[in-house]
Amino acid sequence: LQTELDEEACSLLPYEHFLIYSKRVLTPKGLTAAIVEVDKGKIVSVKEQSTPPTSSTELPVSDYGNAVIMPGLIDLHVHLNEPGREEWEGFVTGTKSAAAGGVTTVVDMPLNSFPTTISKESLQLKLLAANGKLAVDVGFWGGLVPENAENTTALDELLSSGALGLKAFMCPSGINDFPMTTASQIKAALPVLAKYGRPLLVHAEVQQPLEDGHPQLEEFTGLSSEEKRHYSTYLASRPESWEKQAVQELVNAAQITTAGSSAQGAHIHIVHLSDAGNSLDLIKKAKHDGAHLSVETCPHYLSFSAEEIPDGNTQYKCAPPIRHAENRASLWKALMEGHIDFLSSDHSPAPPELKLLEEGDFINAWGGISSLQLVLPATWTFGKGHGITLERVALWWSVNPAKLAKLSQKGSIEVGKDADLVIWDPETSFIVDENYSLFHKHKVTPYAGKTLSGQVISTFSRGNLVYHEGHHATKACGLSILSA
């Protein structure tokens, strides 16, 4: 391997045409022993073979034995927060974390950076800021806000400048510079998205009056510090009815995306679903009725439950909230049955002080969970009890995300695709403790202290070995991915 002493290099390997072998290569046909030939960043052949290449081959060979070779993960929901808030994460630490976690493509959310990505100009600023800092490939979602929702020209420019789609919030986003939009503003934007065949991603919560017996939103400031330390106080503040109302409004809006309608070809994607009850039922029915609708959930909703969140541990705070264990089981069931289309991290870091860990104040702490480097082991570890398979992991983390973002050159190990690969050992466990190299800018995560199984060994990004056993390539050669 090239060491840090060498001149800057995009890859830890000194060549671009080589063979990789393992007994467990995940191709669209399934898991098989195979040789993957990589040349100039592309997969040029995949040959099933039960033994590694003999020494006679003139090409260099990396023999990974029984490790699993899978398509690199594609994480469509990451807040990298640059420009403007790189002290929250930033492109350098965010994409190094991705590489260390086998995530070879990240699509960056339009908020928590400053400016937010709501115009052609702010997208240009994003691209400038990202230049030379990307360890893996990064795409960008544009933002749909009241300022541009009814401005067809602005949305057209944003999409024609390369945004892979748009993101909207139906409730306050937790950060003042990215305001929420209503269902009618969302509907107004759909015809422009239809023109580009690009999706609208939505944070699906609509504020509703809270049930009697619980403090109403306006009463939160009066809560005692003790009450604000209880996770149950926070959980009660964002009930399933908020998600259900949003989903109902989106299902109604999606009606104009069907054939012959004004927004035919547009697609609505619900991000980070937490409610596996009424909200999921509405989604299942709408899909059954042919709505152009998809939905994701995140590992933290599948890993943790409200019952286990101790008072004051605000690193678990996110919106929508992590719900009860029964809900988690229903999410796993829906995921295994294909009603939930794929997974994303919703990596949403902030400086630790915003998490108010000393006070343990769930009401005022930053809502957002950091997990980008850990999503593969987290999915694998907590999926074991639910019948998870390697094929499903690739479907949820590579194949389906590539389809939504229309990244046709990525998402599977097939000839002609980008050589984006993660090589990992599902059977090796580790503890996320101070000895574990977490490359996130901040180490606050609810996975701290947890034992996870699934150790990433190597990550290839377009044929460059960008990460191998704790080492990153010395030069960041990831590309900004713009829609065609």
Contact residues for Zn ion (CB under 5 A)? 203, 346, 348
Q: What is the DSSP letter of 52?
A: P
Select from 127-135, 169-177, 241-249, 305-313 the region that touches ligand 1AL (CB under 6 A).
169-177
Cβ count within 10 A of residue 132: 11
Least distance in Å: CB of 394 to Zn ion?
23
Identified binder of ligand 1AL from the candidate list 112, 161, 327, 398, rule CB under 6 A: 112
Identified binder of ligand 1AL from the candidate list 367, 377, 446, 478, rule CB under 6 A: 367
Q: Is 445 in the site for ligand 1AL (CB under 6 A)?
A: no
Q: Which of 424, 397, 392 is nearest to 66 (CA)?
A: 424
Rounded to 10 deg, the angle between the 325-336 and 278-288 helix axes is: 20
Select from 8-16, 113-121, 171-179, 325-333 the region that touches ligand 1AL (CB under 6 A).
171-179
Count how many Cα atoms sit within 13 Å of the Cα of residue 87 in the half-sphere of its side chain. 4
Identified binder of ligand 1AL from the candidate list 136, 235, 282, 319, rule CB under 6 A: 319
Nearer to ligand 1AL, 25 or 175 (CB): 175
Q: Is 309 in the site for ligand 1AL (CB under 6 A)?
A: no
Q: Which does 43 bind (CB under 5 to 8 A by kind): Zn ion, ligand 1AL, none?
A: none
Q: Which of 217, 271, 221, 223 is nearest to 246 (CA)?
A: 271
Strand order in the sheet with 73-78: 73-78, 103-108, 137-140, 480-481
Q: What is the DSSP letter of 320?
A: S
CA separation for the pair 60, 56 (Å, rounded): 10
> In Å, what is the CA distance from 443 to each residue of 161, 373, 439?
35, 11, 8
Q: Which does 279 bind (CB under 5 to 8 A by kind): Zn ion, ligand 1AL, none?
A: none
Q: Provide the token pair at 288.
A: 């059954």
Do 459 and 72 meet the contact criterion of CB atoms below 8 Å apart? yes
Q: Which of 290, 270, 110, 267 is nearest to 190 (CA)?
A: 267
Q: Which does 367 bind (CB under 5 to 8 A by kind): Zn ion, ligand 1AL, none?
A: ligand 1AL
Binding track, positions 267-296, relative to ligand 1AL; x by CB under 6 A: -----x------------------------
**Interface residues for ligand 1AL in 325-354 (CB under 6 A)?**
346, 348
Nearer to ligand 1AL, 317 or 339 (CB): 317
Nearer to ligand 1AL, 116 or 483 (CB): 116
Select from 170-178, 282-290, 432-440, 445-453 the region that touches ligand 1AL (CB under 6 A).
170-178
Identified binder of ligand 1AL from the candidate list 41, 52, 139, 368, rule CB under 6 A: 368
Least distance in Å: CB of 9 to Zn ion?
33
Q: Which of 426, 425, 429, 432 is nearest to 458 (CA)?
A: 425
Nearer to Zn ion, 300 or 468 (CB): 300
The residue written with tokens 């460059």 in the block is 464
Least distance in Å: CB of 31 to Zn ion?
32
Q: Which does 112 bind (CB under 5 to 8 A by kind): ligand 1AL, Zn ion, none?
A: ligand 1AL
Q: Is 318 in the site for ligand 1AL (CB under 6 A)?
A: yes
> In Å, what is the CA distance from 235 to each residue of 152, 174, 269, 274?
38, 16, 24, 12
**DSSP per residue, 263-283:** TTT-EEEE-S---TTHHHHHH
Residue 250, judged by CB atoms within 10 A of its CB (0-12, 13-18, 19+), counts as buried
Residue 122's SS3 state is helix
Q: Which of 111, 88, 92 is nearest to 202 (CA)?
A: 111
Do 41 and 464 meet the contact criterion of CB atoms below 8 Å apart? yes
Q: Is 174 in the site for ligand 1AL (CB under 6 A)?
A: yes
Least distance in Å: CB of 343 to Zn ion?
13
Q: Which does 175 bind (CB under 5 to 8 A by kind): Zn ion, ligand 1AL, none?
A: ligand 1AL
Question: Phi and psi dihedrals of 6, rounded to 5?
Answer: -70, 170
Do 44 and 38 meet the contact criterion of CB atoms below 8 Å apart? yes
Residue 463's SS3 state is coil
Binding track, positions 219-248, relative to ligand 1AL; x by CB under 6 A: ------------------------------
Nearer to Zn ion, 13 or 343 (CB): 343
**Interface residues for ligand 1AL in 60-79 (CB under 6 A)?**
79
Residue nearest to Zn ion (CB): 203
Do 482 and 408 meet the contact criterion of CB atoms below 8 Å apart? no
Q: Which does 268 bind (CB under 5 to 8 A by kind): ligand 1AL, Zn ion, none?
A: none
Nearer to ligand 1AL, 83 or 174 (CB): 174
Least distance in Å: CB of 433 to Zn ion?
27
Footprint on this chain of ligand 1AL (rule: CB under 6 A): 79, 111-112, 173-175, 203, 272, 318-319, 346, 348, 367-368
